[in-house]
């Protein structure tokens, strides 16, 4: 598989600024703070029939009786959560947010126009993917922080090694731009599910990880200190081989070798903190993984401070069989008017003023 990047991105890489940075004794008057996050919006579908995708459940006459009232409530709930992300350290919230399980660009346009989000002027990166359910990934960003230089969708080719059957999944959405002076590369993915079993489907997630790794290698070949953030619902935990072996995401910065990545979510997972629950156990599929350029003190500019799993009591169900699970939109066919079956994650970046 070949990957190419426009010439203007190569120039940005070669002339990206470099500054000295230290994370010791962080003082607000000395450092800028910004946040980048990811949120699986759990089936953010509109109510309009799409003849090219399998959206039958999310129609007024469908199994879930998905109508305008439910759609409006879902949009409001999603905006409420996004509005609050990262506001403990920055009033602007997340400067850039990767999203998954959205049906099309229109649902994102409706989302950023919500009263809770409108003032942030979020812009959209979106591509229609070949996923059979019609769900895509996308990126929302505030122009105040991020200036988009270019974006592209990278397909994930899936052919079952046992049956030769081809399948379709979400693309990897790639965007590059200047983040308050620093060139930053973003990849957002929603890797193939565990349908058919974790082991039997592992090859598909490794294929998605391989696409992210190829893009990463292409960038690092140009600049070993490139600032790269890979995020998404990986449908694997930080300890699975797709992440540790294919993507080469390490559990600590001390274990990183040249070309390795750092999984900012590993310690959360090790400490029992997850983003979704299944059969009374927690997984941490929603991950944010960074390159050495964001953790190496010699590089400077924006650098990683910490990562966060956004877990609030009102984001969890308080009763019933799924008490303590993320408070989602439906339980079976019953509309319970929650948020998502995933918790959002984000990381803070710091830059010396």
What's the topology of domain 27-352? Deoxyribonuclease I; Chain A (3.60.10)
Q: What are phi and psi of 266, to 5 degrees?
A: -60, -50
Determine the Cα–Cα distance for residues 281 and 16; give it in Å rounded to an integer. Answer: 43
Helix (H, G, I), strand (E, B) or coil at 12: helix
Along the 353 residues of the chain, how does pLDDT read in single tens digits? 444 454 445 444 443 333 333 344 466 678 999 999 999 999 999 999 998 888 999 999 999 999 999 999 999 999 999 999 999 999 999 999 999 999 999 999 999 999 999 999 999 999 999 998 889 999 999 999 999 999 999 999 998 777 777 888 999 999 999 999 999 999 999 999 999 899 999 999 999 999 999 999 999 999 999 999 999 999 999 999 999 999 999 999 998 999 999 999 999 999 999 999 998 899 999 999 999 999 987 888 999 999 999 999 999 999 888 999 999 999 999 999 999 999 999 999 999 98
Determine the Cα–Cα distance for residues 264 and 253; give it in Å rounded to an integer. Answer: 9
Domain boundaries, the chain: 27-352
User: How would you classify the pairing of strands 31-44 and 345-352?
Assistant: antiparallel
The pLDDT value recorded for residue 3 is 45
Q: What are phi and psi of 39, to 5 degrees?
A: -150, 125
The pLDDT value recorded for residue 10 is 44
Determine the Cα–Cα distance for residues 323 and 311; give it in Å rounded to an integer. Answer: 14
Which residues face 283 on adjacent strands?
276
Helix (H, G, I), strand (E, B) or coil at 62: coil
C-alpha torsion sign, points 239, 251, 34, 326: positive
Determine the Cα–Cα distance for residues 316 and 318; give it in Å rounded to an integer. Answer: 6
Determine the Cα–Cα distance for residues 19 and 7; give it in Å rounded to an integer. Answer: 24
What's the whole-model pTM score? 0.92
Cα 72 versus chain centre, distance: 23
């Amino acid at each position: 598989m070949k990957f190419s990047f426009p010439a203007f991105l190569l120039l940005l890489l070669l002339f990206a600024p470099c500054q000295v940075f230290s994370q010791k004794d962080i003082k607000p008057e000395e450092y800028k703070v910004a946040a980048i996050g990811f949120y699986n919006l759990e089936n953010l579908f509109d109510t309009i029939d799409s003849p090219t995708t399998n959206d039958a459940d999310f129609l007024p006459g469908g199994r879930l009786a998905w109508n305008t009232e439910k759609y409006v409530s879902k949009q409001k709930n999603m905006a409420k959560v996004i509005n609050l992300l990262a506001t403990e350290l920055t009033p602007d919230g997340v400067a850039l947010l990767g999203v998954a399980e959205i049906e099309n660009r229109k649902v994102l346009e409706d989302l950023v126009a919500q009263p809770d989000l409108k003032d942030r002027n979020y812009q959209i990166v979106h591509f229609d993917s070949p996923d059979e359910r019609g769900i895509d990934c996308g990126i929302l960003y505030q122009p105040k922080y991020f200036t988009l230089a270019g974006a592209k969708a990278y397909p994930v080719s899936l052919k079952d090694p046992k049956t030769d059957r081809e399948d379709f999944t979400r693309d990897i959405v790639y965007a590059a731009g200047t983040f308050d002076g620093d060139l930053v590369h973003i990849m957002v993915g929603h890797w193939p599910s565990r349908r058919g079993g974790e082991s039997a489907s592992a090859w598909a997630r490794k294929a998605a990880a391989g696409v992210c790794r190829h893009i990463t290698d292409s960038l690092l070949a140009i600049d070993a200190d490139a600032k790269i953030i890979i995020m998404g619902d990986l449908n694997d935990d930080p300890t699975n081989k797709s992440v540790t072996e294919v993507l080469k995401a390490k559990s600590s910065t001390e274990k990183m070798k040249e070309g390795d990545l750092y999984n900012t979510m590993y310690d959360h997972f090790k400490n029992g903190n997850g983003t979704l629950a299944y059969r009374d156990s927690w997984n941490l599929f929603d991950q944010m993984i960074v390159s050495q350029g964001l953790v190496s003190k010699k590089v400077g500019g924006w650098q990683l401070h910490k990562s966060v799993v956004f877990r609030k009591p009102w984001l969890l169900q308080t009763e019933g069989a799924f008490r303590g699970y993320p408070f989602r939109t439906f339980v079976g066919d019953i509309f319970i008017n929650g948020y998502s079956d995933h918790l959002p994650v984000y990381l803070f970046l710091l830059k010396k003023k």
